Structure 1
Amino acid sequence: MKRNQVIAIILVLIFLYDAVDYGVMLYHTLTEKLEPGTTRYFPWQNYIYPSTLLIELLGIAQFILSKYQKSALLRLIILYQLFSYFIYQILLVNKGLFIKVHFDFVSLFYDLAACFKIYVLILLQNRLKPKLIENTDGHTYFDQVGKWNRVLHRLIDTAMLALLIGLYLDSFDDLIRSFIRSENYFASLLGSLLNYQEGVYFPFYFLSTLYYLLSEGIFNTSVGKIIMGNMIVDDEAQKPSVGQRIGRTFSRLIPFDAISFFWPRGWHDRLTDTYVVKAAKKD
């Protein structure tokens, strides 16, 4: 059996497990007996999960029906799921890495599923090739994206971060308070840093840095770039080194970097000698 077929089968099995697990949870929620005079509470966050399941199903179907050539939708939902999983581990399970984790079958399953999806996303991202254009003298060059394309990248990625912060806002606040009260000096210092200060919500910047470290540092992409059909390359149209990709993340911390791409190249591009270009159309 070919590797793509094995990947597709495992992805389907993971999807079926997630769908059944959500269906069981929903059934118990809707059939739970309420005390007289009380109203059934269904958090708005619970509407997000079935939407992600639908996108995951469509992504797997696109991947299989295209004979494993098209993966944009699948890569999009896997990246979202992995970052959401990472936040969940930090905020809800590990409680900031200062409390011992309790393992069970369900948590082990999701840990293994996350590891498999990391492998799949890296594999699919490595298949991407930049779109090359040949000029009149026979030389080829890559198709660097324009500034408004970069604006859309930023808006899409910011919207996804805002969604995830909204999903886990209460847990994030609880974690910060537990850090501040901790007797561990590092935890207390981290809590003070992430706390509200002068109207600036530090968790957004904290999660934004983690998001780009994960998405670009490991997978060389982001949600915005996947949606817009773009990718990151070095000056030789190859995959940038790990140092270049991580450097892009920390360069974003420079004030006003977010609007620097209104000039010919953004600062986090110029400082790391990278380019955002169009990916080949086949994907």
Structure 2
Amino acid sequence: MENDYPLNSLEQVFSDLTPGEEYLIPVSSSTRFFNYLVDLVGMLVFGFLFGIFLATMGAEEILNKMPNQLLGIFLLFSYYVLLEGITGRSLGKLVTGTKVVTLEGEEPSLNTIVKRTLCRLIPFEAFSFLTSNQSGWHDRFSKTMVVRIRK
């Protein structure tokens, strides 16, 4: 199979692109990792605030009876579905100027965000980034990607 582009340099690859047109280019693995670290801190803060909320409502016994794994799943699911479902961006994506889009470049539906978030719960999902450049299973199974927002 013959390539349409001689891949001698990135300049040659992008020479046919129309100026001013927006292109979906997935962000780097290092940006994705930084997003993860910021989101991890965001989920911890979210969990802390949720605990304070329950304590002020007199419902701290809910936390005492709930298994830690179930609480973690609830917090992860709530964090990502609320933020990405409403804005397409988690705190990490907000900090790095990135956003979740479908492979066609459109805003993902709430169902897509739920599917993406459920895929994060697959054991060892974080290691799926080792087998691919910039996408994990939660990207591939939900047919989404993270791109830089151009202004």
**Does TM-score exceed 0.5, indicating one fold?**
yes
Within the alignment, does 1:209 sit opposite 2:91 as a pair? no
* Partner deviation per Cα, 1:20-59 (whole Å, 9 max, x = no partner): xxxxxxxxxxxxxxxxxxxxxxxxxxxxxxxxxxxxxxxx
Residue from 138, 145, 153 that aligns with 2:27: 145
Please give the per-residue CA displacement for 1:176-204, whole angstroms capped at 9, x wherever unaligned.
5258xxxxxxxxxxx85xx24xxx45323
1:256 to 2:135 alignment: no
Establish whether residue 160 from structure 1 lines up as the match of residue 42 from structure 2: yes
Paired position in structure 2 for 1:236: 104
**Greater relative CO (CA pairs within 8 A, separation 6+):** 2
Q: Tell me how far apart the structure 2 counterparts of residues 210 and 270 of structure 1 sit (CA, whole Å).
A: 21
Amino acid at match of 1:164: F
Task: Report which of the two has the higher share of helix.
Answer: 1
Distance 1:137 1:222, change over 3 A: same
Change (3 A) 1:163 1:242: closer
Contact 2:43 2:76 in 1 (8 A): yes
What is the distance in 2 between the residues matched to 1:212 and 1:135? 34
User: Map of 1:1-283 to 2, 5 A cutoff?
Assistant: 135-138=14-17, 141-169=23-51, 172=54, 175=59, 177-178=61-62, 195-196=66-67, 200-262=68-130, 263-264=132-133, 265-280=135-150, 282=151
2:7 maps to what in 1?
Answer: none
Shift of 1:168: 4.4
Extract unaligned runs of 5+ from structure 1. Answer: 1-133, 180-190
Q: In structure 1, what residue type is equivalent to 2:17?
A: G
- Counterpart CA distance in 2 for 1:178 and 1:207 is 14
| Structure (1 or 2) with the larger CA radius of gyration | 1
| TM-score (structure 1 length as normaliser) | 0.41
Say whether the 8 Å CA contact 2:46–2:75 is kept in structure 1.
no
SS at match of 1:217: helix
Deviations 1:143-172 (A, max 9, x none): 211111111111111101212323443554
Give the direction of change, closer, same or farther, for the CA distance of 1:143–1:210 in structure 2 (3 Å limit). same
Q: Work out whether residues 150 and 261 of structure 1, in 8 Å CA contact, stay in contact via their aligned partners in 2.
A: no
Contact 2:24 2:105 in 1 (8 A): yes
Structure 2 regions of 5+ residues with no counterpart?
A: 1-12
| Aligned residue pairs, count | 132
